[in-house]
Amino acid sequence: MPADLNGWVNNNKKEDKPKFEPPKFEPPNFIKNGGNTLIAIGVIVLFLFLLKPWVIINEGEVGILSTTGKFSERPLNPGLHFYFPLVQKVIVIDTKVHMISYKRNPEMGTMPDRYGTIKIYPAINVLDARGLPITVELSVSYRLNPKEAAYVVKTYGLNWEDKIVNPIVRDVVRNVIGKYPAEELPVRRNEIAARIESQIREQLDKIPNRPVIFESFQLRDIILPENIKRQIERVQIAKQEAERAKYEVLRAKQEAEKKAAIARGIAEAKKIEAKGKAEARLIEAKAEAMANKEISNSLDKKLLQLKQIEVQGKFNEALKNNPNAKIFLTPGGAVPNLWMNVNDEKKVISTKVQR
């Protein structure tokens, strides 16, 4: 290589710039001194974030604290509670009102609502007193006793409803309805519902520690066989016809009694009217008799003689006008007298003299 070229190369190598190195970061002294503390805090925060060692119990719920698999008898009431995640856990139990609804052709499952849970089960098939198949639709409302939540979960597990409520309801319905003939079930529906409710409540109360509180019962429907339905319909129609005939007989009887009452009233009215007329005539006759008696009592001997004189005077006047008349005086005085014309003996005139 030429000398000039070697010199240029050597000069370039000597003039190469040094490589760039970034500045080193030096943490503050307080961080250098408290590094271990920050690490511990970070670990604790990560522990709290991942394990979440607290639980919030809402209204209508209780918590069951389990320590190494052993349940605490005292339930956790609504509020914030802390526990150790590695050795403890909290089971939250719903204590709101639950319902089991037994339906025909149901969509099995659980429907949570705002205040509780509704479980859908198939309708209950039972036999009546004669062995005929009956289907019953109903619903039962209940809730867990909060004080016995740990006992219930420990004894029956989390599916305690299927082990306590459902079997009791089915057994009671079968026992009650099995004592009635199918045709009596619709008529005695209220009585049957009351007996079922009473026996469900009684059976739940007999369970040790009374873990379930019964709320209500509703008998929704009783489905009978078709032949029993038709028989009941025929009986109902016959009863309606009998009631209608009974009503018609009663109505006819009432009409007859009404007419008889009217006739009795008319007869009584006529009787009263006739009696009134008879009494009026009797009063009138008595009055006339009394008047005649008074008149008779007033006719003394002198008055009769006076009347006789007056009558005699009237005959004397008549003789003056008719001298040929024959006079016949009736003995006794002032009584009617007869006189007859001599020229016409066939003509007789009767004269009444007023007293």
Of 345 and 102, the structure prediction assigns the larger pLDDT to 102
Same domain, 102 and 188: yes
Residue 111 to residue 242: CA distance in whole angstroms = 49
> Exposed (0-12), middle (13-18) or buried (19+): which is 27, by Cβ within 10 Å?
exposed
Phi and psi angles of residue 143, each rounded to the nearest 5 degrees, phi first:
-155, 155
Q: Which residues, at least 6 apart from 165, have a Cβ–Cβ distance to it below 8 Å?
A: 100, 140, 142, 204, 212
Residue 21 is predicted with a pLDDT of 57
Residue 314 to residue 207: CA distance in whole angstroms = 134
- C-alpha distances out from residue 212 to 145, 171, 294, Å: 5, 17, 110
Query: Considering the domain boundaries, does residue 235 fall inside one?
Result: yes
Residue 153 to residue 160: CA distance in whole angstroms = 7
| pLDDT (tens digit per residue) in 289-313 | 787 777 766 666 666 677 777 777 7
Q: Provide the sign of the torsion angle of the four alpha carbons 148, 150, 151, 155, taken in this order.
A: positive
pLDDT band, residue 108 (cuts 50/70/90): low
Of 224, 241, 269, which one is at a domain's C-terminal end? 224
pLDDT at 170 over 90: yes
For 12, the token pair is 């370039």
Of 177, 200, 224, which one is at a domain's C-terminal end? 224
- Cα 9 to chain center, whole Å? 118
Q: Which residues, at least 6 apart from 322, have a Cβ–Cβ distance to it below 8 Å?
A: 341
Same domain, 57 and 116: no
| pLDDT (tens digit per residue) in 215-267 | 999 999 998 888 877 777 777 777 777 888 788 888 888 888 888 888 888 88
Query: Considering the domain boundaries, does residue 70 fall inside one?
Result: yes
Same domain, 137 and 233: no
CATH of the domain at 126: 3.30.479.30
What's the Rg (C-alpha) of the chain?
Answer: 64
Query: Considering the domain boundaries, does residue 194 fall inside one?
Result: yes
pLDDT band, residue 69 (cuts 50/70/90): confident
| pLDDT (tens digit per residue) in 25-46 | 555 554 555 556 777 777 777 7
Closest CA to 194 of 174, 178, 217, 214: 217
Of 200, 224, 248, which one is at a domain's C-terminal end? 224
The pLDDT > 90 percentage for the chain reads 31
Same domain, 247 and 187: no
Same domain, 219 and 232: no
Average of per-residue pLDDT across 130-147: 92
Query: Considering the domain boundaries, does residue 74 fall inside one?
Result: yes
Average pLDDT, the chain: 78
Q: How many CB atoms lie within 10 A of CB 334?
A: 20
| pLDDT (tens digit per residue) in 147-165 | 999 999 999 998 899 999 9
pLDDT at 145 over 90: yes
| pLDDT (tens digit per residue) in 198-219 | 999 999 999 999 999 999 999 9
Residue 212 is predicted with a pLDDT of 94
For 29, the token pair is 């002294």
Query: Considering the domain boundaries, does residue 79 fall inside one?
Result: yes
Range of the domain at 72: 33-94
Same domain, 190 and 248: no
Residue 351 is predicted with a pLDDT of 43
| DSSP-derived secondary structure letter, 88 | E
Query: Considering the domain boundaries, does residue 325 fall inside one?
Result: yes
For 202, the token pair is 């009684």
pLDDT at 86 over 50: yes
Same domain, 155 and 270: no
Residue 115 to residue 162: CA distance in whole angstroms = 20
DSSP per-residue string spanning 92-137 = EEE-S-EEEEEESS---EEEE-SSSEEEEEEPEEEE-TTS-EEEEE
For 198, the token pair is 């009473």
Same domain, 66 and 113: no
Total structural domains within the chain: 4
Query: Considering the domain boundaries, does residue 24 fall inside one?
Result: no
pLDDT band, residue 9 (cuts 50/70/90): very low
Same domain, 157 and 184: yes
Q: Which residues, at least 6 apart from 123, have a Cβ–Cβ distance to it below 8 Å?
A: 102, 103, 104, 106, 135, 136, 137, 223
Same domain, 214 and 322: no
Beta bridge partners of 91: 64
Average of per-residue pLDDT across 57-66: 91
Query: Considering the domain boundaries, does residue 335 fall inside one?
Result: yes
Same domain, 165 and 203: yes
Same domain, 76 and 141: no
Tokens 């129609």 belong to residue: 237
